[in-house]
Structure 1
Amino acid sequence: MKYLKFLGLSTVVIAIFAYFLIFYVPASDKKEDVSQADDKQALSQVEKTKAKEPFSGAGTMDSLKLLGEDLECSISYVPTEGEKEVEGTYFVSEGKIRGDFLVPSPDLEGTILSSMIMDQTYFYSWTEIDDQMYGAKVAIVDMKKDENNTSQSVTLDTEVKYNCKLWENVDDSVFLPPSTVLFRDMNETMKAGMEYGTTYEEGAELPF
């Protein structure tokens, strides 16, 4: 059972950093991204949000956040070339982000719902595997500290396809992590010895 729990938590850990690569772009890359963006398309999107018109396109999640509007979107992206397309929903309001995605299950035989929330303090991720909920969180400040180690993995051509509209009736509860999920702090987990790549034999004692 502990072995299965470890696999579940490992999945969440991997998901966190996968989301990190999609949602978080270092400040230096943001400037480059903006400078290379299609100004005409960006202007068109801004005009449509002001006119309360739906809009669609391709870009990073951060580019949608930078529009400064309350948005609800459906998105899709391919994590790695050759993999199945991942679909989900995306909400942004006042700098907070919520995403819910159908991702391949650990056995690759189906899909599971994996969710994330990013506010000004923490990045939360959780998913349900075999009727068990697994969650993890990492402080935004710690993510920024690791910017030098991760920025090379953040490619400017990482894009998602989106269909968005203004979120007129904002529900702030969307950005509250579920109270039924135990979110393990990734810093504490790493200090306990669960570094990425660590393996445990079945029946061995795990640090949780």
Structure 2
Amino acid sequence: MELIKLNNVSKAYGEKDNKFYALKDINVTINSGELIAIIGPSGSGKSTLLNIIGTLDTYTNGEYILKKENIGGLNDRKLAKYRNSTFGFVVQHFALINEYSVYKNIEVPLKYANISKKTRKERINYVLRTLELEDKSSKFPTQLSGGQCQRVAIARALVNNPDIILADEPTGALDSKTGSVVMDTFRNMNKEGKTVIIITHDERIAKQCNRVIKIIDGQLVG
């Protein structure tokens, strides 16, 4: 099933002679249940594309259809609702709150969604079990390894049961062994029906995905 469709999407900065395109005429369709890697050199537009897909950034021209709805026609409140219910975000340096326990870090998106305390507890305990983090629930990020922190970040991304996981260099701050464990987690999530889109510089990670999208100088190649 078609989940995401970008038609001639561009992202430009500046005006007239000083205009710079971070993305230019991007056409891509992503179906439900795909595991996709977005690759390309630094500054090629990978993160800009991911942020547009996740509605964290706007586009200058083109059309973005998400779940058959034109995103360009939504106001900020509706976009925020989409972000919290449709997407789970995982970033390279975890973005955990050091003053919060593992449990409280995972709870953050549920509070934004106004989920009841009872349901929050059920969902958090489920993702803790799924990612083998039950014994870390009361620990703080500073007490965990890099791989454990990344699993907490993935748990936080999963707790609202989003359709789409967006991961920006999720293994970039990890050693290769720990990165393999994290990638196994993404593959398992994909097998359970999640659509997973990963930005990576690592060819080994890209080869584990079902499809690779390559960007150079803001344009798709290949």
TM-score, normalised with respect to structure 2: 0.25
Q: Which structure is higher in helix share? A: 2
TM-score, normalised with respect to structure 1: 0.26
